[in-house]
Amino acid sequence: MLLTALEFLGLVAFAASGALAAVRARLDVFGVVVVGLTTALGGGIIRDVLLGIHPPTTLRKWLYLAVCAATALIVFAFHPQVARLRRAVLLADAIGLGVFATAGTTIALAGGATVYAACLIGMTTGIGGGVARDLLLREIPLVLRKEIYAVAALAGSVLVGVGHALLLPPGSVTVVAAAVVVAIRMLALWRRWNAPVARGSGEG
């Protein structure tokens, strides 16, 4: 139940972040909903495609689509108020990243993937929706622009892989690993940590 609740919190956060980005790009209501859905569900769909799960889980359960679409519509209608909740949205986004990355790794391991493959699939689950959002909005994906985001997702996925190799309880490992992802992401935002860029690349 806890993981399910966290999963839906992550879906809402990702849908809200995608919808906000679409509003800032001045898309119409349909565009806002599409970008919100893509951001929230994209990572899970990529995961299921890589694991051969057809149709993807989120397309078989209407509640996923309904929650994400409703979130996007709420953001469209009340975007000034939602934009003021920046810290709460960032925290929820971090929780979503942690839950999706670690749960994606666990699902991949349960499907017979190797630890190496499962860790990469888990990371992709966490960041895939955001990459798709940025591409739809014709931007360089956030994960390629300095921020500690993909690294946090990969760290959580690796922890799940290590726990699997040590035969630790998967549920407990997933929760702890997700908490580590959230901690890394929020600490990076607080301390303004960024991945290094090449010297002389034009960055100040």
- State whether the Cα torsion 146-23-38-137 is positive or negative: negative
Q: What is the pLDDT of residue 146?
A: 66
Give 12-38 pLDDT, tens digit per residue. 989 998 999 999 999 999 999 999 999
Q: What is the pLDDT of residue 92?
A: 80
Q: Do residues 6 and 178 lie in contact, with contact meaning Cβ atoms separated by under 8 Å?
A: yes
Residues of the chain with pLDDT > 90, as a percent, come to: 65
Identity of the amino acid at 33: V
Residue of 59 and 114 predicted with greater confidence: 114
Q: What is the pLDDT of residue 145?
A: 74
The arithmetic mean of pLDDT across residues 76-94, rounded, is 86
